[in-house]
Amino acid sequence: MTTFTNLLYQPEPETGLLTITINRPDKLNALNAATIEEIRAAVQLGLDDATVRGIILTGSGEKSFVAGADIAELTKLDDVSGRRAALQGQEAFSLIERSPKPVIAAVNGFALGGGCELAMACHMRIAAENARFGQPEVNLGLVPGYGGTQRLTQLIGKGKAIELLLTADMIKADEALRLGLVNHMVPQAELLTFTRQLLLRILTKAPIAVGLCLDAVNAYFDKSRDGYQAEADAFARCFASADFKEGTTAFLEKRPATFRGN
Could you read off the pLDDT of 13-46 as tens digits, one per residue? 999 999 999 999 999 999 999 999 999 999 999 9
> How many C-alpha atoms does 48 have within 13 Å on its Cβ side?
6
Could you read off the pLDDT of 42-70 as tens digits, one per residue? 999 999 999 999 999 999 999 999 999 88
Find the domain containing 89 and state its range: 7-202
How much is the mean pLDDT over the chain?
Answer: 96
CA angle 101/106/112 to nearest 5° reads: 110
- Mean local confidence (pLDDT), 212-235: 97
Statement to judge: residues 106 and 226 lie in one domain: no
Statement to judge: residues 186 and 64 lie in one domain: yes
With respect to residue 154, please indicate whether it lies within any of the assigned structural domains.
yes
Residue 84 has pLDDT above 70, yes or no: yes
Write the DSSP symbol of residue 188.
G
- Mean local confidence (pLDDT), 122-144: 98
Beta carbons within 10 angstroms of residue 212's beta carbon: 20
CA distances from 190 to 62, 106, 126, 195, 242 (A): 12, 10, 10, 8, 36
Statement to judge: residues 81 and 178 lie in one domain: yes
With respect to residue 123, please indicate whether it lies within any of the assigned structural domains.
yes
Write the DSSP symbol of residue 77.
-
Residue 119 has pLDDT above 80, yes or no: yes
Q: What is the pTM of this model?
A: 0.96
Torsion of CA 159, 162, 166, 172, to 10 degrees: 80
Could you read off the pLDDT of 167-219 as tens digits, one per residue? 999 999 999 999 999 999 999 999 999 999 999 999 999 999 999 999 999 99
136 pLDDT tier (thresholds 50, 70, 90): very high
Residue numbers annotated as active site: 117, 137
CA distance 178 to 205: 28
Last-in-domain residue among 202, 218, 235: 202
Cβ-based neighbours of 228, under 8 Å, separated by 6 or more: none
Statement to judge: residues 181 and 243 lie in one domain: no
pLDDT of residue 261: 87
Give how many domains the chain has, as a whole number. Answer: 2
